[in-house]
Amino acid sequence: MALHEAKGATYWVIPDAYIPEKSSGGLTSHESVCVLNTSSEDAQLLFTIFFEDREPVEDIPYLVEARRTKHIRTSTLLQEGMPPPAGVPYAIEVKSQIPVIVQYSRLDATQAENALMSVMAYPVR
Amino acid sequence: MALHEAKGATYWVIPDAYIPEKSSGGLTSHESVCVLNTSSEDAQLLFTIFFEDREPVEDIPYLVEARRTKHIRTSTLLQEGMPPPAGVPYAIEVKSQIPVIVQYSRLDATQAENALMSVMAYPVR
Amino acid sequence: MALHEAKGATYWVIPDAYIPEKSSGGLTSHESVCVLNTSSEDAQLLFTIFFEDREPVEDIPYLVEARRTKHIRTSTLLQEGMPPPAGVPYAIEVKSQIPVIVQYSRLDATQAENALMSVMAYPVR
Amino acid sequence: MALHEAKGATYWVIPDAYIPEKSSGGLTSHESVCVLNTSSEDAQLLFTIFFEDREPVEDIPYLVEARRTKHIRTSTLLQEGMPPPAGVPYAIEVKSQIPVIVQYSRLDATQAENALMSVMAYPVR
């Protein structure tokens, strides 16, 4: 079996993270951190959440298996059982022990008709 | 006739791909992988599709002619006659034998009033 | 008077350009190529438009003055008095004789409630 | 206590800045410049605003504390008590004395159903 190389970077940043407080219409407001692991090896991620007015929450673990993508809802990044709070500006740092590629997208369903945004996360080398 | 140089990169990644299941109003939900080939030579692309829970679909071919752009609907990337499934998170890898430039855009027409997102794909050198 | 340095790159690409055919509600569907010239010197730009099925339109000139931004509507990029056609996928190449920074944004007002997208153009070095 | 490193770049550009003139529905049209300071040291920022037809407004100061993010509404970037004007195309330059990461997002609530866009700012090294 061919061995596939890990591609991308091991450290990514998303400065503008935000979970809208309201949802209406058929969909729910949410954010996704979308990770691709091109490698034949699993990628062990560590998420750190930064806030405007308090200490960061550090090193929440998440596994992305070999040759898989994961579209990770930020509401599943739990610290002591709690997700990031809605309605509060925050930022996300993603560390990985092998290179991966990270994109961030948000669906805002505050209104019944939805709004979308997406950015490639910023890789630090 | 002047010969034009190939520009960009030969390997691009889009971690957040998704075909919305519903469409309403006048437009249809879709994604486009938009490729520019600035060169005097044709570009032969190979697409690989990654999933969350199954093996990737590898090396779907696509041609972008010399000095042309193609806005490729992901629903035309067929494997054994089947497009990527709607309503399922996936990721896209684009390889090219010469440098090209790749952008990804999604129109979500789940609601009658549409939502748009776009990112430059991530180039790996 | 202090002399300000030119910053950015001299060659930028936007693979996904498109002028929606329809507008409804209070705003008009349009695209903008937004350029910042940080330098004390004027920047002379040349735009090339690439299509899916015909030869490119090359070297449409545009001036961005020293220490100014220009948010250039693509409908003002005329070749023999004609703008890029609406409803047709195309791509944009921007060359400048000095470094500038280029971003691309689209307002889609096909529906009364608008959709927005924006990307930083891709710099080729 | 561990000392954390500053990450990112010290000079960022956003060519497409714009404050929509109207708001309707439950939310207000606005832009945010979202900054993450991963370092154990405070980051002192200087914003410069560029226009299409007049001299830039230079070096508006803003502090982002150590290990914090700030989602800065552009309407709070005051020069002689005045924010950037609404309905006028402009561009933003962000300088920092230590590396930070910068993303730009806009919520357009011209219509009751909102539109969103976001880009990573362009780093100049």
Task: Name chain C's partners: 3 or more CB pairs within 8 A.
Answer: A, B, D
Task: Check pLDDT > 80 for residue A7.
Answer: yes
Residue C107: list chain D partners with CB under 8 A: 115
d(CA C41, CA D75): 30
d(CA D100, CA D69): 10
What average pLDDT score do residues C99-123 get? 90
Tell me if chain A has a CB within 8 Å of the CB of D1.
Answer: no
Please list the residues that pair with D62 across neighbouring strands: D45
Residues 31-60 of D with CB under 8 A from B: none
> From the CA of B111, how many Å to the nearest CA of chain C?
11
Between C51, C112, C122, which is nearest B101 by CB? C122
pLDDT tens for each residue of C40-80:
999 999 999 999 999 999 999 999 999 999 999 999 998 88
Residue D118: list chain C partners with CB under 8 A: 118
Q: What are the structure tokens assigned to D12, written together?
A: 């960022």
> From the CA of A100, how many Å to the nearest CA of chain B?
10
CA dihedral D124, C48, B30, D16 (to 10 degrees): 40
Tell me if chain A has a CB within 8 Å of the CB of D7.
Answer: yes
Report the SS3 class of residue D44. strand
Element (H, E) at A109: none
What is the secondary structure of A3-58 as a DSSP string? PPPP-SEEEEEEEEE---S---TTS--EEEEEEEE-SSS-EEEEEEEEESSSPPEE
Q: What residue ranges define each of the domains in chain C, with the CATH number in brackets? A: 9-123 (2.60.290.11)
> From the CA of D110, how many Å to the nearest CA of chain B?
14
d(CA B19, CA A36): 17
Q: Residue B74 phi/psi, 5° resolution?
A: -65, -20
Contact by Cβ (8 Å): C4, C38: yes
Residues 6+ apart with CB under 8 A from D4: D38, D39, D40, D66, D67
Per-residue confidence at D111, pLDDT binned at 50, 70, 90? confident
Report the SS3 class of residue A17. strand
Q: Across the interface, do C13 and B32 touch by the CB < 8 Å criterion?
A: no
pLDDT, position D1 = 59
Who has greater pLDDT, C115 or B105?
B105
Between D14, D115, D121, which is nearest C115 by CB? D115
pTM over 0.90: yes
Who has greater pLDDT, B86 or B94?
B94
Please list the residues that pair with A7 across neighbouring strands: none
pLDDT, position A112 = 66
Who has greater pLDDT, C69 or B125?
C69
Residue C113: list chain A partners with CB under 8 A: 113
pLDDT, position B38 = 98
Tell me if chain D has a CB within 8 Å of the CB of A110.
Answer: yes
What average pLDDT score do residues A10-29 get? 86
Task: Check pLDDT > 70 for residue D106.
Answer: yes
Residue C116: list chain D partners with CB under 8 A: 106, 108, 115-117
Question: C5: which DSSP letter?
Answer: P
pLDDT tens for each residue of A23-78:
776 677 889 999 999 999 999 999 999 999 999 999 999 999 999 999 999 999 98
What average pLDDT score do residues A1-8 get? 89
Tell me if chain A has a CB within 8 Å of the CB of D9.
Answer: no
Between C51, C113, C120, which is nearest B69 by CB? C51
Report the SS3 class of residue A86. coil
> From the CA of C114, how many Å to the nearest CA of chain A?
9
What average pLDDT score do residues C108-123 get? 87
Tell me if chain B has a CB within 8 Å of the CB of C120.
Answer: yes
pLDDT, position A20 = 85
Mutate to test the interface with C, among B74, B101, B119, B125 (most CBs of C within 10 A): B101
Q: What is the mean pLDDT of chain A?
A: 92
Q: Across the interface, do A118 and B122 touch by the CB < 8 Å criterion?
A: no
Q: In angstroms, how far is the first alpha carbon of chain C from the final one? A: 30
C18 → chain B, closest CA residue: B71
Task: Check pLDDT > 70 for residue D57.
Answer: yes
Per-residue confidence at D40, pLDDT binned at 50, 70, 90? very high
What average pLDDT score do residues B69-88 get? 91
Tell me if chain D has a CB within 8 Å of the CB of C61.
Answer: no
Q: What are the structure tokens assigned to B114, written together?
A: 């549409």
Task: Check pLDDT > 80 for residue C36.
Answer: yes
pLDDT, position B105 = 96
Tell me if chain A has a CB within 8 Å of the CB of C113.
Answer: yes
